[in-house]
Amino acid sequence: MLSSGLSYLVPDWRGFTMSISILAAICLFTIPFFPESPRFLYARNRYKDGRKLLKQFGEKTNTELSEKYLDEFEQILKAGENEEDEIKTKKFTLLDLFKSKNMAMISINLALAFTKWNQNFC
């Protein structure tokens, strides 16, 4: 919605693009002030940091997270890691794109959409 108002104030596309870029650059400087995601911390096996952050979120939202709940939560995550390890070890090749009919059609469609041959027709 704000970009609509900005485009009204700056009707030239170059100025509009520059304005949007400046606003995005300003937002980049706020990144250090945001806490990391508990999901990211748990995915990186940083359980102490994830638990600490979840407790902080619980305090801010007036939600009590018991140690028993967090222990069970971490056990579920650790149990899921073993299943994910099996999935991660599978290697995919170019031939996997053509194993099923739907995936083959999507792959061919995307390949043709981005070729130089197709650009002559657009």
Q: By residue range, what is the domain housing residue 72?
A: 36-88
Question: What confidence score (pLDDT) does residue 117 get?
Answer: 61
Number of folded domains that form the chain: 3
Kindly report, residue by residue over 68-107, the tens digit of the pLDDT.
Answer: 988 888 888 888 766 655 556 677 888 998 999 999 999 9
| Residue 103 and residue 121 in one domain | yes
| Residue 72 and residue 108 in one domain | no
* Mean pLDDT of the residues in the chain: 84
- The mean pLDDT of 22-32, rounded to a whole number, is 87
Question: What confidence score (pLDDT) does residue 89 get?
Answer: 62
Neighbours of 51 (CB within 10 A): 19
| Residue 66 and residue 101 in one domain | no
Kindly report, residue by residue over 112-122, the tens digit of the pLDDT.
Answer: 887 766 555 55
| Rounded-to-integer distance, Cα 39 and Cα 45, Å | 10
| Residue 77 and residue 97 in one domain | no
B/e letters for 88-109, b = 16+ CB within 10 Å, e = fewer, are eeeeeeeeeeeeeeeeeeeeee
Determine phi and psi for 46, rounding to 5 degrees: -105, 70
| Rounded-to-integer distance, Cα 99 and Cα 21, Å | 42
